A = this chain, B = another copy of it.
Amino acid sequence: MESNSVSPMPEQNSQAPMAEFDKTPPTPPEDTLPMEDLPPPPTTVTVQEEKEKEAQAEIHRHYEDENEWSCGSWLEYTVVVVLASVLLLGSLGLTLFWVFQYRGGFAWRENPAKQFNLHPVLMVAGFITFSGFSVLLYRICRCCRRIYVKLLHTVFHALAIPCVAIGFLAVLDSHNLAQPPIPNFYSLHSWIGLVTMGLFAIQFVVGFFSFLILLCCEGATAGFRSALVPIHASFGLTTFMLAIAASVSGLTEKALFSLPDTYSQWIEEGIVINALGVSLIALGILVSFAVRSPTLKAGSKVDVSDRI
């Protein structure tokens, strides 16, 4: 750090060893030491003994660190978990409400317009609700063993797969069965959606293979798996953000297609669509915060990367 520059930024890396140093139990000044308690005088304590002492203090400190969790941290944890759960379930609930209240509910094949309604509901269920809970599991499950968290992470993402697949088929079918048929894959929404689905599939396959199948040769693959974690976490969060971008553009499309004259008149359905978009964006901010928060991460059993 330059001497004449003013830094409000904590230089965490460079200060870490000093901070560790500062935390060692303070040694009383030499003249006040009860000499009879110390077989060799303090100036002749061997390096070996000192290192052993430090190592013991280190172990004790880490043990304390793992169990210590301040009131503020618990508050942050509770607020994030409750708010995220409300938004994740609320978004799905709002989508269902929108579709049933204003769009006539579901159908398959016999009514392309109603078949389309499966698209937003299943995509929000798969890409937002299931995937969001799957990501948040690493924050919510603080007391579980890591392998259980991993399995739950896989199960939630596996549940998202049929949702996304049927949601995709629903929109394809509804376009193709419409009279006249509606073209596919021309809009910005569809482009973002395709990229999101591709990234989701790659993430699932690579994650499943690397973090579950490769456990069969645990020791040999530890380095590889460890190196893959930040990449998997970064691409996971990117997929979630892309899903939100796809939702926002999709909701805008649907509002303009379905309410061409009334959207601008502040009708109820328009406000419901906007509220859904806003809650999805709020979710993006909250999940991103939860994944990266050092407070939430500090006490958890699993670290997720710092990179996006």
Q: Using CB atoms and an 8 Å cutoff, list the residues of chain A in contact with chain B.
A: 1-2, 4-14, 16-17, 20, 42-48, 50, 58, 62, 65, 145-147, 182-183, 186-189, 191-192, 210-211, 215, 218, 222, 225-226, 228-229, 234, 238, 241-242, 244-245, 248-249, 251-253, 255-257, 263-266, 270, 273-274, 277-278, 281, 284-285, 288-289, 292-294, 298, 301-304, 306-308
Q: Is the beta-carbon distance between A8 and B222 smaller than 8 angstroms? A: yes
Interface-central residue, A7, A145, A264, by most chain B CB under 10 Å = A7
* Pairs across A and B, CB under 8 Å, 15 listed: A2-B146, A7-B226, A7-B302, A8-B228, A14-B62, A16-B20, A17-B58, A43-B47, A45-B46, A50-B50, A186-B266, A191-B277, A192-B277, A242-B281, A249-B252
Known contacts A44-B44, A188-B274, A191-B274; 20 additional CB pairs below 8 A are: A4-B145, A6-B215, A8-B210, A8-B222, A9-B303, A12-B303, A183-B265, A186-B263, A186-B264, A187-B263, A188-B273, A192-B248, A238-B288, A241-B241, A241-B284, A245-B248, A252-B253, A252-B256, A289-B307, A292-B307
Q: Is the beta-carbon distance between B255 and A188 smaller than 8 angstroms? A: yes
Q: Is the beta-carbon distance between B6 and A218 smaller than 8 angstroms? A: yes
Residues of B within 8 A of A252 (CB): 187-189, 249, 252-253, 256
At the interface, is chain A mostly helix, strand, loop or mixed? helix
Residues of B within 8 A of A270 (CB): 186
Residues of B within 8 A of A210 (CB): 8
Residues of B within 8 A of A222 (CB): 6, 8
Q: Is the beta-carbon distance between B43 and A46 smaller than 8 angstroms? A: yes
- State which of B226, B277, B284 has its C-beta within 8 Å of the C-beta of A8: B226
Residues of B within 8 A of A249 (CB): 248-249, 251-252, 277
A132, B255: Cα distance in complex, Å: 30
Residue of B nearest to A242 (CB): B281
Residues of B within 8 A of A12 (CB): 303
Known interface pairs A17-B58, A58-B17, A187-B274; A281-B245 also in contact (CB < 8 Å)? yes
Residues of B within 8 A of A229 (CB): 8-10
Smallest distance from the beta carbon of A240 to chain B beta carbons, Å?
A: 12
Q: Is the beta-carbon distance between B50 and A43 smaller than 8 angstroms? A: no
Q: Is the beta-carbon distance between A11 and B248 smaller than 8 angstroms? A: no
Residues of B within 8 A of A13 (CB): 298
Known interface pairs A256-B257, A273-B188; A308-B285 also in contact (CB < 8 Å)? yes
Q: Is the beta-carbon distance between A302 and B14 smaller than 8 angstroms? A: no
